[in-house]
Amino acid sequence: MFDEENPGGQYGNKPAGSFQDLKVWQKAHQLVLAVYRLSKNFPKDEMYGLTSQLRRATVSIVANIAEGFKKYGKADKVRFMNISQGSLEEVRYYFILTNDLGYGNTQQEMSLLEEVSRMLQAYIKRIKESQ
């Protein structure tokens, strides 16, 4: 599913028309949906703790990809993608914590996170190398 040659989602010579066309955004959105499903079963006393933090950080990944998409300068685009990477690492920790607390098995979500991480890194590289 990941296209090494086309991580951002450009099809042929036609650039992506919106952030929703970006393959990395699509995959990150799948991660958000998976996190919402996972955290739905967390203990109620975690509603304002881990549940909220995990959801917020995961949404931040996708939102920053979307926001960065419309930035004109390379440096601005890369900055927003780097913010996404930071949020991605925050989510990685929350997955570890979720497992350690026994709130759920995050193996599938962690695999999805790894894929998003690779795609995001490739997209940043592509932005940096673009004309």
Domains of the chain and CATH, by start: 19-129 (1.20.1440.60)
In the chain the first and final C-alpha atoms are separated, in Å, by 26
Spatial separation of the C-alpha atoms in residues 26 and 66, rounded to whole Å: 10
- Averaged pLDDT for residues 2-9: 43
Helix, strand, coil shares of the chain as percentages rounded to 5?
Answer: 70, 0, 25
CA 12 to chain CA centroid, nearest Å: 24
In the chain, the percentage of residues whose pLDDT exceeds 90 is 85
Nearest to 18 by CA among 73, 66, 61: 66
What pLDDT is stored for residue 130 in this prediction?
A: 86
Per-residue confidence at 11, pLDDT binned at 50, 70, 90? very low
Q: Which residues of 22-31 are buried (b: 16+ CB within 10 A; e: fewer)?
A: bbbbbbbbeb
Spatial separation of the C-alpha atoms in residues 46 and 119, rounded to whole Å: 31
| pLDDT tens column, 90-111 | 999 999 999 999 999 999 999 9
